[in-house]
Amino acid sequence: MTPQERIQELRKLLNEHNHKYYVLNQPEISDQEFDRLMRELEDLEAQHPEMDDPLSPTRRVGSDINKNFQQIKHLYPMLSLANTYSVEEVDEWVQRTQGSLMGEQVTLVGEMKFDGTSISLIYEHGRLVRAVTRGDGEKGDVVTDNVKTIRSIPLELHGEGWPDRFELRGEILLPWREFDRLNAERAFNEEPLFANPRNAAAGTLKLQDPREVSRRGLDAYFYYLLAEPQDLPSDNHFDNMMAVRSWGFKVSDAMCKLETIDDVDKYINFWDTARKELPVATDGLVFKVNSLRQQLNLGYRAKSPRWAIAYKFQAERALTRLDFVSFEVGRMGIVTPVANLDPVLLSGTIVKRVSLHNEDIMRGLDVHEHDMLYVEKGGEIIPKITGVEVSQRPKDAPVIKFVSHCPACGTPLVRVEGEAAWMCPNKYGCPPQIAGRVEHFVGRRMMNIDGIGEETSELLYNHGLVTNIGELYDLTYDKLIAMDSRIGHKTAERIMQGLRDSLEVPFDRVVYALSIPFVGETVAKKLARGAHDIDTLMAMSQEQLEAIPDIGKRIAESIIDYFAQPLNRQIIERLRQAGVQMAMPEESTEGRTDKLQGKSIIISGTFAKHSRDQYKEMIERNGGKNVGSISKKTDYVLAGENMGPAKLEKATSLGIPIISEDDFLKMIE
């Protein structure tokens, strides 16, 4: 087989496995095996640039290309649906529709109303050519690169019978699991949370960095096929969607044909509760007339078709008593009002604290002391207060006012420019802010300093030992032991060791650890890469910062403001003196050898001493090449635990030496 043929074969194979994994949920090969095929394809493609194909499965990870979105007019405008809120309203619509069709038998299709962001895909000759957001319904943004990262969308179609040119509409969604993960990450970084998966999906689709999009785990379901009538596989919607499924797309299993009003009512009753088990957010059901001829007869209103209707689920709501409103100060000084409630059960979880977000929202609700409050949890996983039951308000209950001074340090609050938030400006004297920053700095994903948690950082502050992150490096074993009886020998040792180890933490994590407002983990990485070292970063102008990918005006301003503070500069100096990494590692020739010159080495399995990436780097540092698949030309297999049996057999049959990590480390010693 020529390499060209192998490339084609691998692409086909990987596309099939992608479909089995992401669409059918029935993986046939292990993740490792999949990665192996992918790496083989990557290697071959690198050697054969003439075989380049932008739709190759290797391109799913997205590229670094950064560009603003181009706008394009939709072939057919993207309409919305008329809403109904009860079984009765849906029944009326069914009867009305039948009436308009002169009493003809009407078959309906019931489907989920997915609560994501709509997308229009254009396929030509079986290949994805364009993905466009809804935009204003007339024109939308071209987001093809981002959509290509969604593994459940086929870039090349499966099966047969697809029109040469068609448009497919569907919904891009962030599954609950990914949504929870993303929000937990954002909460940790004190970045604003996404209120619901819809906002998260829409936000993600508009990111300028397809790699980040790829990381977020979007999914997509499809519900509408458009093409020249003679090119469509069938004259009815349901069969068209089944064809769409056979071409490799996700079409909801909930989609089914309904013949009578009774069927419709049962469908609504069933999904009203069953939808809670679905892996993605839904906000209702959609009923569509199945026959395309009947659809054509029924036609359109200004903004929606007459042949379809949405039924919206009721959000779950509870009424409970407000105990008190607390005002809480975060690491960045933002003061958030929180309603502390009599505990109440809502969609399976007990709710007792609900954020009121900011003064405007609190005032809009007009919350009085001990009011009865409505708490809702709809498509939103985070409960929110949607109203006050004024009829149950205690007599003469005073309205609750937003605090004017910091509840922790008493400093008058200032309004964050252009926002509804109030902030305590006493950044370096307000205990929860300082303790919060120390806690952030020592966190696992920042400097990873063992032994210091919330309690210890408060102790350190209260004893005047650590009033900023720089002072952490003034700690000594003796000072720790003397501070508080709760800190024993072991803890003190652990903290000191943690501080020493933290000197190895790479520069990008140091940038993240500084608690610069709006600089989360991803932004910190980009800054570290863009600036290379702290002196450059501190000296960068607004324009220079904004020239770094994904750094906007707000982030740039925040960085400049941070480094303009003399105390922050002092802290940086203290960290530098202590030996904290203040630059990205040099691509140095130091440590380079030619001990593995000309050797092709495969890495397989898991290792105890170093990560696979580290071994890869060691191979390259010593002049060798890390390859993806075994062939006669392979010189060694560096094998860890759980090496795949197929690989082992192949290596043995080709007589390739299998070496352990210790053997390998000896070789490069």
Positions that interact with ligand IVH (CB under 6 A): 79-81, 111-114, 118, 134, 171, 223-224, 286, 305, 308, 310
For residues 227 and 665, which CB has a smaller minimum distance to ligand IVH in the complex?
227
Smallest separation (angstroms) from ligand IVH to the CB of 289? 11
Tokens of 381: 């996983």
CB 97 to ligand IVH: min, Å = 15
- Surface-to-core class of residue 250, CB atoms within 10 Å of its CB (0-12 exposed, 13-18 middle, 19+ buried): buried
Point out the catalytic residue in the list 12, 67, 73, 113.
113
The Cα 466–Cα 468 span in angstroms is 6
Smaller CB distance to ligand IVH: residue 303 or 353?
Answer: 303
Our CB check for ligand IVH shows the closer of 171 and 439 to be 171
113, containing H or E segment: strand 108-114
DSSP codes joined into one string, 363-430: HHHT-BTT-EEEEEESS-SS-EEEEE-GGGPPTTPPBPPPPSB-TTT-PBPEEPTTSS-EE---TTT-
Partner residues linked to 291 by β-bridges: 236
| Closest CB to ligand IVH among residues 252, 468 | 252
Structure tokens at 377: 């949890």
Instruction: State which residue, 378 or 436, has the beta carbon closest to ligand IVH.
Output: 378
Distance of CA 356 to the CA centre of its chain: 24
User: In angstroms, what is the minimal distance from the CB of 119 to ligand IVH?
Assistant: 8
Q: Which is nearer to ligand IVH, 198 or 331 (CB)?
A: 198
Shortest Å distance, C-beta 132 to ligand IVH: 13
Residue 169 DSSP one-character state: E
Strand, coil or helix: 603: strand
What residue number has its CB nearest to ligand IVH?
Answer: 118
DSSP 474-517: G--HHHHHHH-TTS-HHHHHHHHHHHHHGGGS-HHHHHHHT--T
Q: Which is nearer to ligand IVH, 289 or 495 (CB)?
A: 289
Query: Least distance (Å) from ligand IVH to the CB of residue 522?
Result: 28
- Region for 150 from its dihedrals, namely left if φ exceeds 0, alpha if ψ lies in -120 to 50, beta otherwise: beta
- Tell me phi and psi for residue 96, to 5 degrees: -60, -45
Distance from C-alpha of 228 to C-alpha of 663, rounded to nearest angstrom: 65
Compute φ and ψ for 380, nearest 5 degrees. -90, 130
Determine whether 427 is an active site residue.
Answer: no
Decide the pairing of beta strands 658-659 and 636-639.
parallel
Residue 236 C-beta: closest distance to ligand IVH, Å: 15
Catalytic residues: 113
